[in-house]
Structure 1
Amino acid sequence: MTHWGPVLLTPERTRFRLWAPDRDAVTLEIDGAAPVAMAREADGWFAVEAAAGAGTRYRFRLDADLAVPDPASRGQSGGVHGWSVVVDPGTYRWQTDDWRGRPWEEAVIWEVHVGTLGGFAGVAETLPALADLGITAIELMPANAFGGTRNWGYDGVLPFAPAESYGTPDDLKALIDRAHGLGLMVFLDVVYNHFGPDGNYLGAYAAGFFDAEVHTPWGGAVAVETPAVHAFFRENASMWLNDYRFDGLRFDAVHAIGNADFLDELAGELRAVTGPDRHVHLVLENEHNDADRLTPARYDAQWNDDFHNVLHVLLTGETSGYYADFAERPAERLARCLGEGFIYQGEGSPNHDGKPRGTPSAHLPPTAFVSFLQNHDQIGNRAMGERLTLLADPAKLRAATALLLLSPQIPLLFMGDEHGSQSPFLFFTDFHDDLADAVREGRRREFAQFAAFADPAARARIPDPNAEATFAQSRAMPGPSADAWRALYAQLLALRRDVIVPRLKGAQAIGAEAVARAR
């Protein structure tokens, strides 16, 4: 039984449910109709059936001063503080009903921020060129509802609702449908470790959704061991895979969830609801380098930050921050990464106060690791959002690109890589008033420890995340050598398709070694 969100019982009647264990009464408000008291059920749930068809706007009244959207809203009208909308998941007419996905070893992933391309329709327009280049999958950065009209993606508060400024639920389905027609897989980045600061009302009626004793960089941890909370994320992931037909999910920063049992159970549940006839791929981001999660019955792969980090040191010479873990013997560390997957497999990490990080990974196939030269994190978390095209020698960057695309690991590109973009990708939000001030000043304080921004005047030059110009600058424009970069990518991806991919299924790494020190 679905626990969260509205369920259409007939074209004109819907069942509404809300988990509000901290409240004694909840009222359903339907736009243009009389309010309806919801019945209290077991374990903190409230439910009611009402006359409401697709397109109906509704919200939950908690008291005279507070009405909230449905945390499992399938669509919003008026932003994350506005009305939720009943959506009929069966109205879209799919053109690619025979699509079953592609094997994981064929994946060449292109990560994209939907908003910078103008929404779901804008991304759809880029797909033919990507398919012609040799890309086989796109990965959407988080596309669910957030505060304001622009956000870099990781401040979402309504995980079930596509961002209103990106398009409608059917617009997202049309994007996926077009991708499948071109032979492209589509993955979605989902964030189950925290909620954003603007529009998250859960604490007003379900404080138990969070664990105040376990802290993350974004506040109290999500209490995934609570049955209702576990169901929330299981149903969310299932919705994306089944209703929207995504080919897979990338789970953001699961180390901040801190519950391996939840991750394993979630993977098993999703494998069961998608069935054996589809190629559905589940990928983790996990700072703990936990190889135990990477099995065919659980997760296909993990983003391998070690690959990026050591190559960034080799390409740029930067060794501050987390790059300090890779400053010594970088060529040897790269060899270990190519031969065994993780660089840190239980050794002490300087950036983690010398504590051991990681578990042995040499037994895993190379395809258990997603490698990249850069992604949204490593660019967006820089103060000025610089790409490698501005930080590295072009010849070295071309060599690193060849290594990425011709290695047996699964390669991931960030939007703009394919045409040598020199545009920044900055951290951007659309917050207002005190929250906007706090985010802007907090962002600048983060970089006070770096020599380049030790002076307050230097920090003041860091772009204001809330300025519309910051968002506008983050669109990936072709660089001055765009044609040469496209030609290189086309050549390498054709070689990968013809020579590397046919040999990947069942392959095991046989090791690698550094033949010279990095210079």
Structure 2
Amino acid sequence: MSHIHRMPFGATVHGGGVDFALWAPSMDRIVLVHTPAGGAASSHAMQRSADGWHRLTLAEAGHGDSYAYRLPDGTTMPDPASRFNPQDVHGPSRIVDPGRFAWTDTAWRGRPWHEAVIYELHVGTFTEEGTFQAARERLGELAELGITAVELMPLADFPGARNWGYDGVLQFAPDASYGSPDDLKALVDTAHALGLMVLLDVVYNHFGPEGNYLHACCPEFFDAAQHTPWGSAINFGGPGSRTVRDFFIHNALYWVEEFHFDGLRMDAIHAIRDASPMHIVREIREALNAGPARERPVHLVLENDANQASLLARDGNGLPVAGTAQWNDDLHHAVHVLATGERDGYYADYADDAAAGFARALAEGFVYQGQPSAFRGGEPRGEPSTQLPSTAFVSYLQTHDQVGNRAFGERIHALGDPVLVRAALACVLLSPHVPMFFMGDEFAASSPFLYFCDFGPELASAVAEGRRAEFGRFAAFADEAARARIPDPNAAETFQASKLRWRERGTRAHFAHLCKVQQLLDVRHRLLVPHLAGALGAGSHGCEEGVIRVQWELSGKRLHLLANFGTQPAAEAAAPAGALLYSWGIVADAAGLQLERGAVHATLEDMAGG
């Protein structure tokens, strides 16, 4: 069984050789440089059509050969739609015949979204080896724990040997530092055999600062009138945008069809400049629905600082019109303030009553649903989210962003009050939201996750200086000596320090945390998940002196959650109805429930007719 996504650009292998296609309307002439495996390079002029496509069929080309495009000014560049670039982003592309990989997951039909428990990982630091093969060997442990979906941080080929992935420039080429395309397919194939979905983080709002040759060969790919933090915006709405939109739509289909991914996480869609009648996110959803989603569930997860609930809306059949779910930073920020007391930056918006904010996020998804944000200068933020199902929100105590954007990459287990961190984790895992772990959360890993990259010397120096200057706004880094202690992102040691220390998993304190996580996930899968399908609308919530109460109506059940995030024990709390799911820090007496600080109590009540 093979999976092949056909697309109008790139190198396409067939019985008569290889078709090459590049869209470059500004170029009068493009030359293909072809190098067979073990042979000498040869040059071939491509045919230009009136609509700016340059095409060539080469009968002698085949799988494993290298090729590149030469521009009129002599610049030699890889294919923007390269399937593999083993010599990094400045080197030639390699022809890949995707039909050669033999899949074994023919019985795989995906999993419904309400069963998702996500594990976000960075391939390079998830294991000591930092490869697809090494990650594949760890998947069994995640499945045994109760994880049902692995989310890979971006894989699009980036400059150098190490990167978070958000500096990718070759959208179709898995970075060679992790292995070959077939190695990635083997990882997905193994995951499916274990019952794990695999999601991929994709970046459609910008290209990285090094190795993006599209500016040279195809300036039509960008809209100079629209600016982003990374320069000119990608052209999703101007002249020529149809081909640009198709590039990214095909990219989404490529990962889902050719690599059999179960869905995508779209990075920072608030930074996409698209005023078209149909936003690119919606068009990608429609393309997925018309293609692979006809045979299995395909999930689309958004990161969207604008809290646009409209992009998470459901149709008359309860299916998403665009995003399946959104990363819920509002919930994270409220939890972070609760557990650490930090109030700098965007945390200031959650500082007035973080417990109440956490309760609202659990019940309704977004904390900011249109009210003004002080951090954003009083601008209103967000849209009402109470009409959405709780499974439209992916919630967590930390992510790569919230850990790695700290100067020293500390995890919340190293920063927060352990009693409150434990309570918050139980609340998230016992809520109807889709929970997510950042790799190592499950055993309270001690390793940091730092910002790292591997740029050329000039850019590397600018990135290191810029990062230290950015932290200069904070009191803790006001003096130069403090800023100098911030790890250099380009140093190999920064990358090495960020690798998980798997040996910790078996030590006493870390193993105890792992067992608690496994207990909570077992409760979730056995008792909650069967009632999450079809549950619609927000829950109700309340908060008094740090004690939160939240309840949700599920399919035939009512879920109650009671937790004490106050500074003192709480007395005489009314006991919620229903069968006990989980309880910690609770003493029941004639007056009701006595809650220790950090107590959590969850019950599941039968509803009339349920």
Using the size of structure 1 for normalisation, the TM-score is 0.98
* 1:327 equivalent in structure 2: 351
Deviation at 1:330, TM superposition (A): 1.3
Deviation at 1:89, TM superposition (A): 1.0
Aligned length: 518
Distance 1:63 1:258, change over 3 A: closer
Supply the AA of the counterpart residue of 2:514.
R
1:4–1:235 Cα contact (<8 Å) kept: no
**More strand as a share of residues:** 2
* 1:246 equivalent in structure 2: 261
Deviations 1:463-510 (A, max 9, x none): 000100000000122376211111001100000001111110111333
* 1:191 equivalent in structure 2: 203
Please tell me whether residue 146 in structure 1 is matched to residue 158 in structure 2: yes
Deviations 1:431-464 (A, max 9, x none): 1211110111011111110001111111111000
Deviation at 1:64, TM superposition (A): 5.1
CA distance in 2 between partners of 1:462 and 1:219 (Å):
26
2:27–2:72 Cα contact (<8 Å) kept: no
Please tell me whether residue 161 in structure 1 is matched to residue 190 in structure 2: no
CA distance in 2 between partners of 1:231 and 1:3 (Å):
9
Deviation at 1:103, TM superposition (A): 0.5
Please tell me whether residue 5 in structure 1 is matched to residue 20 in structure 2: no
* 1:96 equivalent in structure 2: 105
* 2:69 equivalent in structure 1: 60
Please tell me whether residue 510 in structure 1 is matched to residue 539 in structure 2: yes
Deviation at 1:43, TM superposition (A): 2.2
Supply the AA of the counterpart residue of 1:50.
L
Supply the AA of the counterpart residue of 1:39.
Q
Please tell me whether residue 466 in structure 1 is matched to residue 469 in structure 2: no
Deviations 1:155-195 (A, max 9, x none): 10101001001000000000000000000000000000001
* 2:121 equivalent in structure 1: 112
Deviation at 1:422, TM superposition (A): 1.4
1:27–1:37 Cα contact (<8 Å) kept: yes
Please tell me whether residue 231 in structure 1 is matched to residue 246 in structure 2: yes
What pairs up with 1:404-423 in 2 under 5 angstroms?
404-423=428-447
Please point out which of 258, 270, 281 is paired with 2:273: 258
2:331–2:357 Cα contact (<8 Å) kept: no
* 2:28 equivalent in structure 1: 24
CA distance in 1 between partners of 2:478 and 2:248 (Å):
41
Please point out which of 331, 342, 350 is paired with 2:374: 350
3-state SS of the aligned residue for 1:352?
Answer: coil
Deviation at 1:515, TM superposition (A): 2.9
Deviation at 1:218, TM superposition (A): 1.4
* 1:363 equivalent in structure 2: 387
Deviation at 1:33, TM superposition (A): 4.1
| Larger displacement relative to structure 2 (297-306 or 489-498) | 297-306
| Larger displacement relative to structure 2 (257-266 or 33-42) | 257-266
3-state SS of the aligned residue for 2:436?
Answer: strand
CA distance in 2 between partners of 1:356 and 1:60 (Å):
47
Supply the AA of the counterpart residue of 1:276.
R
* 2:577 equivalent in structure 1: none
Deviation at 1:335, TM superposition (A): 1.6
3-state SS of the aligned residue for 2:294?
Answer: coil
3-state SS of the aligned residue for 1:188?
Answer: strand
Deviations 1:182-228 (A, max 9, x none): 00000000000001111111100111211122221111111122011
Structure whose alpha-carbon radius of gyration is higher: 2
Deviations 1:276-321 (A, max 9, x none): 2201111100011001111323221011100100000000000101
* 1:286 equivalent in structure 2: 304
* 1:439 equivalent in structure 2: 463
| Larger displacement relative to structure 2 (312-321 or 389-398) | 389-398
Deviation at 1:6, TM superposition (A): 1.1
* 1:38 equivalent in structure 2: 46
* 1:374 equivalent in structure 2: 398
Please point out which of 335, 340, 347 is paired with 1:311: 335
Deviation at 1:267, TM superposition (A): 1.0
3-state SS of the aligned residue for 1:42?
Answer: coil
CA distance in 1 between partners of 2:213 and 2:73 (Å):
15
2:393–2:433 Cα contact (<8 Å) kept: yes
| Larger displacement relative to structure 2 (300-309 or 270-279) | 270-279
Please tell me whether residue 200 in structure 1 is matched to residue 217 in structure 2: no
1:208–1:223 Cα contact (<8 Å) kept: yes
* 1:455 equivalent in structure 2: 479
* 1:495 equivalent in structure 2: 523
1:57–1:77 Cα contact (<8 Å) kept: no
- List alignment gaps of at least 5 residues for structure 1: none
Supply the AA of the counterpart residue of 1:152.
W
CA distance in 1 between partners of 2:170 and 2:133 (Å):
21
CA distance in 1 between partners of 2:68 and 2:158 (Å):
17
What pairs up with 1:266-281 in 2 under 5 angstroms?
266-281=284-299
Using the size of structure 2 for normalisation, the TM-score is 0.83
Aligned-residue CA RMSD in angstroms?
Answer: 1.2
1:338–1:511 Cα contact (<8 Å) kept: no
2:288–2:298 Cα contact (<8 Å) kept: no
3-state SS of the aligned residue for 1:15?
Answer: strand
1:145–1:158 Cα contact (<8 Å) kept: yes
CA distance in 1 between partners of 2:384 and 2:293 (Å):
30
Deviation at 1:9, TM superposition (A): 2.3
2:391–2:432 Cα contact (<8 Å) kept: yes
What pairs up with 1:121-136 in 2 under 5 angstroms?
121-136=133-148
Deviations 1:396-447 (A, max 9, x none): 1111110111110000000000111011100000112111101110111111
Name which structure has the greater RCO, CA cutoff 8 Å, separation 6+. Answer: 1
Distance 1:414 1:14, change over 3 A: same
Supply the AA of the counterpart residue of 2:22.
L
1:21–1:45 Cα contact (<8 Å) kept: yes
CA distance in 2 between partners of 1:379 and 1:206 (Å):
36
Supply the AA of the counterpart residue of 1:335.
A
Distance 1:499 1:489, change over 3 A: same
CA distance in 2 between partners of 1:275 and 1:250 (Å):
16
* 1:218 equivalent in structure 2: 230
* 1:483 equivalent in structure 2: 511
Supply the AA of the counterpart residue of 1:5.
G
Identity of matched residues, %:
53
Structure 1 ranges of 4+ moved more than 3 A? none
CA distance in 1 between partners of 2:94 and 2:462 (Å):
31
3-state SS of the aligned residue for 1:512?
Answer: strand
CA distance in 2 between partners of 1:50 and 1:289 (Å):
49
Deviation at 1:393, TM superposition (A): 1.8
2:226–2:273 Cα contact (<8 Å) kept: no
CA distance in 1 between partners of 2:436 and 2:368 (Å):
21
Deviations 1:122-172 (A, max 9, x none): 110110111111100100000121000110111101010010010000000
Deviation at 1:272, TM superposition (A): 0.8
